[in-house]
Amino acid sequence: MPILETKGVKAYYSTPLGYIRAVDGIDLTLEKGVILGLAGESGCGKSTLVNTLMMNVRPPLRFIEGTIILDGKEISSMDRSMLKKNVWGVLVSLVPQSALNALMPTQRITDLVKDVVMHHMNVSEQEVVSMAKKRFEELNLEVDTLYRYPHELSGGMKQRVVIAISTLLNPKLLIVDEPTSALDVSTQKQVLKMLVDLKRAKIIESMIFVTHDIAVLRQIANWITIMYAGKIVESGLADDMLNHPKHPYTFSLVNAVVTPEPEVRNRGLASLPGEPPNLLDPPKGCRFNPRCPNAMEICRAKEPHLEEKSNRLVACHLVFP
């Protein structure tokens, strides 16, 4: 049984101008034990998708349709109180993209730990702190850190602490949204190492790692899913996909990283001008067609669906004519 399975999931932002179709028909299967790298340029819907995958959907975001089965339970039909009690933190934990900014400057790390754990378990403060100490030791984080305020910690340390805390209730699936994007390369490495340690120590079995940086994916993911304009365009085994991308969008992403100069990389996709479309009114046919170097007549008329060929899923008329 996969840890996560979704069918036809749509979640739109409701705005005065209409719906922003940020998650628009997602079929995703995540097998147990996998570290899935979810990638795509900024604005492609990655953060909206990972929030929707755990049913953390709040206005203006609206769950439109689809089913989400997490660890055998259909969570797409659960209400918020049920999700809070039985799902969040316990089955799945999300370290959101803005986790570091959300830390309260007046709260010590221990206060944060208490918030996370005592919400779910009937345990004393002392027990909570000793749970946290044990986890910090397992992850080679200094136990002293627990008594510090956020501003006393470096960015990389804060990120590792927030990740460690989100694993306290031993969720089966951990989702981390761009945990390394704000960090320099050597600090990134420490965070990535800790994520791998979590898996190796069998604290976390399955993981979704969100990033817009393919170079980071190479270091951690064993399976990769690429998103473009609210849809999955390609999915497959990490090495195979990075070495032989089939979708023209994946090809552009992978090749953009080959450029070593950070200035060029930061400018975006060297080989691919333009940017992702406005999701209020996405292009007809394949959403990538206006930027695609290989676009054909059919790409402007008909939407390609994800199809499978030798362990790879691709949505492209060129690959599956």
CA–CA distance from 147 to each of 97, 110, 167, 174, 266 (Å)? 24, 6, 18, 25, 37
Q: Choose among 131, 109, 117, 124: nearest CA to 88.
A: 117
Q: Determine, following the binding rule CB under 5 A, whether residue 51 of this chain makes contact with Mg ion.
A: no
Alpha helices for the chain (secondary structure H): 46-53, 80-86, 109-118, 125-138, 155-166, 185-200, 214-220, 238-243, 248-258, 262-266, 297-301
How many whole angstroms separate alpha carbon 106 and alpha carbon 152?
11
Q: What string marks each residue from 265 to 294 as x (binds ligand ADP by CB under 6 A) or -?
A: --------------x---------------
Q: Return the number of the residue (49 or 109) whose C-beta is nearest Mg ion.
A: 49
Hey, what are 120's tokens? 């779910």
- Tell me which of 37, 45, 248, 304 binds ligand ADP, using CB under 6 A: 45
Q: Determine, following the binding rule CB under 6 A, whether residue 224 of this chain makes contact with ligand ADP.
A: no
Q: Helix, strand or coil for residue 48?
A: helix
Consecutive H or E run containing 30:
strand 18-30
Q: What string marks each residue from 56 to 95 as x (binds Mg ion by CB under 5 A) or -?
A: ----------------------------------------
- Tell me which of 5, 6, 24, 46 binds ligand ADP, using CB under 6 A: 46
CA–CA distance from 194 to each of 157, 249, 255 (Å)? 11, 30, 28
How many whole angstroms separate alpha carbon 36 and alpha carbon 15?
31
Q: Return the number of the residue (10 or 135) whose C-beta is nearest ligand ADP.
A: 10
Q: What string marks each residue from 151 to 190 as x (binds Mg ion by CB under 5 A) or -?
A: ----------------------------------------
- Tell me which of 23, 28, 39, 47 binds Mg ion, using CB under 5 A: 47
Hey, what are 152's tokens? 């006393």
Q: Return the number of the residue (42 or 67) whose C-beta is nearest ligand ADP.
A: 42
**What residues from 5 to 44 belong to the interface with ligand ADP (CB under 6 A)?**
13, 15, 20, 22, 40, 42-44
Beginning with the edge strand found earlier in the chain, give each strand of the sheet holding 4-15 in spatial order: 18-30, 4-15, 61-70, 73-74
**Considering the complex, what minimum distance in angstroms separates the CB of residue 66 from ligand ADP?**
16
Q: Determine, following the binding rule CB under 6 A, whether residue 98 of this chain makes contact with ligand ADP.
A: no
Type of residue at 161: V
Hey, what are 58's tokens? 């709040």
Residue whose pair of structure tokens reads 């345990």 in the numeric block: 123
**Considering the complex, what minimum distance in angstroms separates the CB of residue 237 from ligand ADP?**
22
Q: Determine, following the binding rule CB under 6 A, whether residue 60 of this chain makes contact with ligand ADP.
A: yes
Q: Determine, following the binding rule CB under 6 A, whether residue 96 of this chain makes contact with ligand ADP.
A: no
Q: Determine, following the binding rule CB under 6 A, whether residue 188 of this chain makes contact with ligand ADP.
A: no
Residue whose pair of structure tokens reads 């990134």 in the numeric block: 188
Q: Return the number of the residue (47 or 145) whose C-beta is nearest Mg ion.
A: 47
Q: To 5 degrees, how large is the angle CA 300–CA 253–CA 183?
A: 135
Q: Choose among 320, 291, 293: nearest CA to 306.
A: 320
How many whole angstroms separate alpha carbon 313 and alpha carbon 123?
45
Size of the site for ligand ADP (CB under 6 A): 14
Partner whose binding site includes residue 285, from ligand ADP, Mg ion, none (CB under 5 to 8 Å by kind) = none
**Considering the complex, what minimum distance in angstroms separates the CB of residue 45 from ligand ADP?**
4
Residues that bind Mg ion (CB under 5 A): 46-47, 97
Residues that bind ligand ADP (CB under 6 A): 13, 15, 20, 22, 40, 42-48, 60, 279
